[in-house]
Amino acid sequence: MERKTYVDGNTVAVLIDGPIATEINNSVTFYVSDPFDYGITTFHWQMDDGSTYSTTNRSVTHTYTVEGVKMVTVSATNSEANFSVSGSRGISIKYVTPTIPPLSVGQITPTTVSTTTCSTTLTFSATASGSCNSNYSYSWRYRDSGGSWISFDPATPTEFTHAVDTSLEVEVRVTNPSCGNEMKIKSLQLFYEGCYDRPIDY
């Protein structure tokens, strides 16, 4: 849409160029494309979301943070403020659902043991990432020499400390209650043979 003004018998109109659609939180630039002059020195922009700008050039850049159809309006005024012409155009602001990375659990560490003794205390740790937020819940369990699994909830959720003297299997289960109980399991298996370790991760 444009508003026309007649000067010396000529029709003068403000034509706004720019995108007709964009995504939310993207910056967009509008500019006056009509080559009229008439001593125009100021451009007053209204972005239809409560934002306004006054510029001395023909363009303005703006970022919309709310979706919907907006009407951009510009009023061009000369230095004596006795001549003004305006125009407007619409733009559609679209919301795009952000991509959420899946829940991921890094390697349980340590994966090897550097010791000459046949018994040592190790602190295993694992770190989660991804999901819709960082509200992770850690649950550990272990078993020695192929025995029964024993669940353990350490004081520090991301760490598990245990004395190792033979083979050991460690498993951490990470869930995110805030994201539909998304779950990821990571396991580590250590074998001791004559006080030497041979790690297997799966």
Mean pLDDT per block of 10 residues along the chain (202 residues) reads 43 76 92 70 92 92 94 85 80 87 89 69 89 90 88 86 83 89 86 52 42
pLDDT score recorded for residue 90:
92
Domain-ending residue, one of 94, 119, 137: 94
pLDDT score recorded for residue 6:
41
Q: How far is CA 103 from CA 37, 49, 135, 182, in A?
A: 58, 37, 11, 7
16, part of any domain? yes
pTM: 0.52
Query: Rounded distance, CA 44 to CA 106, Å?
Result: 54
pLDDT score recorded for residue 34:
62
pLDDT score recorded for residue 10:
46
| Structural domains of the chain, count | 2
Own/partner contacts of 30-34, CB < 8 Å, gap of 24 or more, are 30/59, 30/60, 30/62, 30/72, 30/74, 30/89, 31/58, 31/59, 31/60, 32/58, 32/59, 32/74, 32/76, 32/87, 33/58, 34/87
**68 and 118 share one domain:** no
pLDDT score recorded for residue 167:
79
pLDDT score recorded for residue 118:
64
- CATH number of the domain that residue 132 is part of: 2.60.40
pLDDT score recorded for residue 96:
85
pLDDT score recorded for residue 48:
95
pLDDT score recorded for residue 171:
93
pLDDT score recorded for residue 147:
85
Q: Which domain holds residue 168?
A: 104-201
Domain-ending residue, one of 72, 94, 116: 94
